[in-house]
């Protein structure tokens, strides 16, 4: 397992095993997390895959995030665009540095990490092969219809989430589906925190996605 400050982000990289089929999980933590936060989750979802886990570049009251917000649920759109571009540059640089298959990079994000993963999908549709989004919100409303026909997306939402409403989840699903993405939605009977049922459903989805490739 390597830990490095190169490529514009503090990050960790775990090399995959030959039986991992060239899959890399891009692990994107929530507010207050870091580059180590989602490694165990990633290894539970796809034990033999490579793990690429950056730390968010901005701070909110000392807590790392991937972009600034103006208030709870109100995103700084200028910073979101800038930080999305920085993350895209990081993904492309890491793919070269670590000899990753760009057609096998799967984003796995929680909360703030899921939001920037959605932003990457909506701005660079061909960069990610798939995405697992835990408790995501709509990062922005696209001004035009996108082409996400090759995208596969798993969204895990909490039906008692006080941060992300069911309506917000439905709006994000609609944006993806209207752009041609194939979306699977899982509803956890709880709040913003993750449950074992979230992880089990996501693991099944990742396994099925890999078998279909």
Does the pLDDT of residue 201 top 70, yes or no? Answer: yes
Q: What is residue 213's predicted lDDT score, i.e. its pLDDT?
A: 80
Does the pLDDT of residue 1 top 70, yes or no? Answer: no
Does the pLDDT of residue 4 top 90, yes or no? Answer: no
Per-residue confidence band for 16, with pLDDT thresholds at 50, 70 and 90: very high
Total Cβ atoms within 10 A of residue 31: 16
pLDDT above 90 coverage of the chain, percent:
87
Q: What Cα–Cα distance (Å) separates residue 186 from each residue in 67, 87, 107?
A: 26, 27, 17
Does the pLDDT of residue 191 top 70, yes or no? Answer: yes
Task: Give kind and range of the element (H or E) at residue 133.
Answer: strand 130-134
Per-residue confidence band for 6, with pLDDT thresholds at 50, 70 and 90: confident
- 54: closest CA among 66, 68, 69, 41? 66
CA distance 36 to 140: 28
pLDDT 10s digits, 47-74: 999 999 999 999 999 999 999 999 988 9
Q: What Cα–Cα distance (Å) separates residue 208 from each residue in 28, 59, 118, 139, 143?
A: 22, 36, 21, 27, 32
Sign for the CA dihedral angle at 60, 72, 29, 137 comes to: negative
Residues acting as catalytic residues: 111, 161, 192
Q: What is residue 91's predicted lDDT score, i.e. its pLDDT?
A: 97
Structure tokens at 100: 């990753």
Q: Which domains are present in the chain? A: 2-212 (3.40.50.1820)
pLDDT 10s digits, 154-167: 999 999 999 999 99
Q: What is residue 21's predicted lDDT score, i.e. its pLDDT?
A: 86
Does the pLDDT of residue 176 top 70, yes or no? Answer: yes
Q: What is residue 2's predicted lDDT score, i.e. its pLDDT?
A: 65
Q: What is residue 68's predicted lDDT score, i.e. its pLDDT?
A: 97
């Amino acid at each position: 397992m390597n830990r490095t400050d190169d490529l514009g982000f503090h990050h960790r990289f775990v090399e995959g095993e030959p039986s991992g089929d060239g899959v890399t999980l891009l692990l994107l933590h929530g507010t207050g997390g870091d580059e180590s936060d989602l490694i165990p989750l990633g290894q539970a979802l796809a034990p033999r895959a490579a793990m690429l886990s950056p730390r968010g570049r901005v701070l909110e009251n000392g807590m790392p995030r991937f972009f600034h917000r103006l208030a709870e649920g109100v995103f700084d759109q200028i910073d979101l665009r800038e930080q999305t571009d920085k993350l895209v540059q990081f993904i492309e640089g890491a793919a070269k540095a670590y000899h990753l298959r760009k057609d096998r990079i799967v984003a796995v994000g929680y909360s703030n990490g899921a939001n920037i993963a959605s932003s990457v999908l909506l701005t660079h549709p061909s960069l990610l092969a798939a995405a697992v989004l835990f408790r995501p919100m709509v990062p922005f409303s696209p001004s035009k219809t996108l082409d996400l026909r090759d995208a596969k997306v798993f969204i895990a939402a909490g039906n008692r989430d006080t941060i992300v409403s069911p309506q917000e989840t439905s709006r994000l699903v609609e944006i993806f589906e209207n752009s041609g993405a194939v979306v699977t939605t899982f509803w956890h009977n709880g709040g913003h925190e993750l449950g074992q049922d979230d992880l089990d459903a996501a693991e099944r989805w990742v396994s099925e996605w890999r078998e279909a490739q």
